[in-house]
Amino acid sequence: GAVVSQHPSWVICKSGTSVKIECRSLDFQATTMFWYRQFPKQSLMLMATSNEGSKATYEQGVEKDKFLINHASLTLSTLTVTSAHPEDSSFYICSARDITGSNSPLHFGNGTRLTVT
């Protein structure tokens, strides 16, 4: 089955630093990847749609200069949280869909728990 690998699983950083999260599709190609964040006991909130070879599409209210997304290849998207603050502490999850099916299920990475101190 399709596997999405996300790294790191958890990270603790100091306020003001930047953190990069990687999302890789291991056995399929993904022109589109999605980045979500999730606060405790809440649902997944879509942050942005990452498109291979072009700019990401951000959801309303998500700062594109703070959450930098790069989708340089068909198997890798990265999310960089720049100048992180404690309120950015959250669970970040990436997901991808098999290139062959636009209505196929999303495959999720295992998530990255970010704690900003």
Nearest to other proteins of 19, 92 (CB atom) = 92
Residue 93 in contact with other proteins, rule: CB under 8 A: yes
Tell which one of 11, 46, 62, 74 touches other proteins (CB under 8 A).
46
- CA dist 62 to 8, 44, 66, 85, 100, Å? 22, 14, 8, 15, 29
Residue 97 in contact with other proteins, rule: CB under 8 A: yes
CB of 108 to other proteins, least distance (A): 4
Nearest to other proteins of 79, 93 (CB atom) = 93
Nearest to other proteins of 14, 40 (CB atom) = 40
101's CB contacts (< 8 A; 6+ apart) are: none
Tell which phi-psi region holds residue 88, choosing left (phi > 0), alpha (psi between -120 and 50) or beta: alpha
Nearest to other proteins of 14, 43 (CB atom) = 43
Q: What share of the chain is helix, strand, coil (3-state, %, to 5)?
A: 5, 50, 45
Q: First vs last Cα of the chain: how many Å apart?
A: 37
CB of 104 to other proteins, least distance (A): 9
Interacting residue ranges for other proteins, rule: CB under 8 A: 6, 32, 34, 36, 41-46, 49, 91, 93, 95, 97, 102-103, 105-111, 113
